[in-house]
A and B are shown apart, each in its own frame.
Chain A
Amino acid sequence: MSLHAPLAVEATALTKSYGATTAVAGLDLAVPAGTVYGVLGPNGAGKTTTIRMLATLISPDSGSARVLGHDVVTEADAVRAEVSLTGQLASVDEELTGRENLVLLGRLLGLSRAGARARADELLEAFGIATAAGKLVKHYSGGMRRRLDIAASIVVTPRLMFLDEPTTGLDPRSRNQVWEIARALVAGGTTILLCTQYLEEADQLADGIAVIDRGRVIAEGTPAQLKASVGTGALHVRLLDLDRRPDAAGVLERALGPVSLQPDPAVLSATCPDPARAAVAVAELARAGIGLAHFSLDQPSLDEVFLALTGRGAEEPPGSAPTLEEQTS
């Protein structure tokens, strides 16, 4: 298969530690060219550290990675020439205007003065930022800033783009626009490595997904495979009587499988392979005499994927390993 699909990213046993904490612990990754590949994991799982290694911002402690055929350590400049990085925090200059940011990058990438200006105007227009082109970026809305960030990444169209949490903190409308832009990029031939904490985002965009936890890949597959392994959704029930919580958990566990307790003590959630079984579970609760104030069925969240794959929730700290995203950003 690999003969037919050249790999845009090929990482083998990558590790990176900061002091006593291991951010990435032997990570393998194979991203086929021309696809969107999702790296899914909670905060602190090692996503950002992995991207920073692949984008040549930091060197791995051990292991190796090739990006578009170039080694990230020994041929870092060749990698830089063909990739773009769109960071978790908008990596544009807040103290410049949107237009100045794009002209600056155009010049740094080798466009002529006139060429950089023309390209900036074209991108500002296409990304719906033309009206704010002369405003300082620090006055931009979140969605506008994210679009500028992506525009800055395609001043010269990259062959591979790292999209690190592109929609965190965006409203649904802005989020959909970012997704549209990502799809347009892939249609144009760019490979995208997408890091996200949202299963829905990976599901919307990615052709393949790697779920990572504590710096390792713990599951891999297409979104359909992954969801099939988790269940098509989650059943949430709100109890009338808090004292019946242990009983309700028992019933749900027999009917559906592992139950996660929510911060709200009256709510229980369980992954659910298909809606019919959710109906059965609700009926079982009624038969056991457990009153419900409310129940709902929805798409599995990352938390449920994690519960299914690791037996614990995404936001529970894994033992002593602290959150690394903050340290490395």
Chain B
Amino acid sequence: MTTVTTDADTAAVRRAIAGTERPPRPGPLQTALTFGWRGMLKVKHVPEQLLDVTVTPVMFLLMFTYLFGGAIAGSTSAYLDYTLPGLLVMSVLFTTVYSGISLNTDLTKGVVDRFRSLPIWRPAPLLGALLGDSVRYVVAGTVIIVVGVLLGYRPDAGVSGALAALALVVVFSFGLSWAFSVLGLLLRSPNAVMNAGFMGIFPLTFLSNVFVDPATLPGPLQAFVEVNPISILATASRSLMAGEPDVPAILVSLAVAAALALVFLPITTRLYRSR
């Protein structure tokens, strides 16, 4: 017969204490992947949180295609061809703001103190969280592409072109998410992170070639739009979907992602330890 016990069993506790030897310290990669697993578990327990990252971009896709598409490009299908690779960029970049928000939420919990008291590679909790978030980026991007295809969008480069564009955008977002992690560590509440994050990413996304051809813009604005990394990423994404890779744009996008990660990774690591 088994009895259901909800009490501690002191003899078993003694055995459990006696039975351990300290294992060798895990490597940085295993530690980061373990934190990534933690992120996945949270999605598993609360799958609704993926709604955030899927509903908004789909809304934008429908609104821009059917409301402005005809006015901007003459027909909704022509506009969809132009804007879908850009909307892919937008939807995934918006999702990166949530990385800062969830980090900020995490910091209000006591468990962070436990992580900080462990003998682990310092950037691991952050790197792991962002690796886990990359899965959300893939989800957000995939949803946009699938809905686009349902609305009639057909990438010239087919599935492989779409996957290449998605991969590039996810890599870029991984770099950008380090910047939002800094916000997540500096600001006081998840709401403040959301406001500050969108205040930055919103104008940057709209002042790009995601929605309109920069040729129609006044001079100074056009100049800004052309150097905006989000334009360059959108251009790269378009070129991959079209099967005519714009190598300079792709390289610049990857370089910007690497630069963001290199600049902000040490800052976030230091802030995470000291906060």
Contact = CB atoms under 8 A, between A and B. Distances in A.
Contacts of B20: 119, 154-157
A187 B26 CA distance: 29
B118 A80 contact: yes
A162 to B, nearest CB: 8
B34 A126 contact: no
A85 B13 contact: no
Contacts of B42: 95-96
B41 A181 contact: no
Contact of A110 (B6, B8, B10, B25): B25
Contacts of B24: 110
B119 A185 contact: no
A124 B242 CA distance: 55
Contact of B13 (A83, A97, A119, A126): A126
A123 B45 contact: no
A99 to B, nearest CB: 11
B34 A104 contact: yes
Contacts of A96: 38, 41-42, 45
Nearest to B26: A110
A123 B16 contact: yes
A115 B23 contact: yes
A76 to B, nearest CB: 9
Nearest to A115: B23
B111 interface: yes
Nearest to A157: B20
Contacts of B31: 108
B42 to A, nearest CB: 5
Interface stretch (A18-26, A86-94, A268-276): A86-94
Contact of B17 (A55, A125, A152, A154): A154
A156 B120 CA distance: 14
A78 B117 CA distance: 11
Interface string A102-119: 001101111110010001
A83 B8 CA distance: 22
Nearest to B14: A184
Contacts of A136: 45
A327 B12 CA distance: 38
For B5, B37, B41, B46, the residue with the greatest tally of chain A CB atoms inside 10 Å of its CB is B41
Of the listed residues A77, A95, A105, A108, the one surrounded by the most CB atoms of chain B closer than 10 A to its CB is A108
Contacts of A181: 8, 10, 13
B116 interface: yes
Given A96-B38, A123-B16, A188-B18, A91 B111 contact: yes
A126 B8 contact: yes
A262 interface: no
A180 B274 CA distance: 35
B34 A108 contact: yes
B41 to A, nearest CB: 6
Interface string A131-168: 11000100000001001000010111100000000000
A81 B113 contact: no
A188 B15 CA distance: 9
B48 interface: no
B9 A128 contact: yes
Contacts of B109: 93-94
A122 interface: yes
Pick the most buried of A96, A109, A127: most chain B CB atoms within 10 A of its CB: A109
B16 A92 contact: no
A57 B10 contact: no
A312 to B, nearest CB: 31
A56 interface: yes
A126 B113 contact: no
B120 A108 contact: yes
Interface in A56-92: 56-58, 77-78, 80-81, 83-85, 87-92
B14 A80 contact: no
Contacts of A94: 109, 111
B118 A108 contact: yes
Contacts of A184: 10, 13-14, 17
Contacts of A88: 110
A156 B117 contact: no
A281 B19 CA distance: 55
Contacts of A188: 14, 17-18
Nearest to A132: B6
A87 B109 CA distance: 11
Point out which of B7, B19, B111 has the most chain A C-beta atoms below 10 A from its C-beta: B111
A95 B30 CA distance: 22
A119 B15 CA distance: 12
Interface centre among B16, B30, B42, B118 (most CB of A within 10 A): B16
B16 A126 contact: yes
A187 B16 CA distance: 12
Given A108-B115, A111-B23, 18 more contacts: A57-B113, A77-B119, A81-B22, A83-B117, A85-B114, A88-B110, A104-B37, A110-B23, A115-B23, A125-B12, A126-B15, A129-B6, A156-B22, A177-B8, A181-B10, A184-B10, A185-B17, A190-B17
7 contacts: A81-B22, A110-B26, A111-B23, A112-B23, A128-B7, A128-B9, A136-B45
In order of increasing CB-CB distance, the 6 nearest A-B pairs are A126-B12, A110-B23, A91-B110, A188-B17, A89-B110, A80-B119
Interface of B: 4-10, 12-20, 22-26, 30-31, 34, 37-38, 41-42, 45-46, 109-111, 113-120, 274
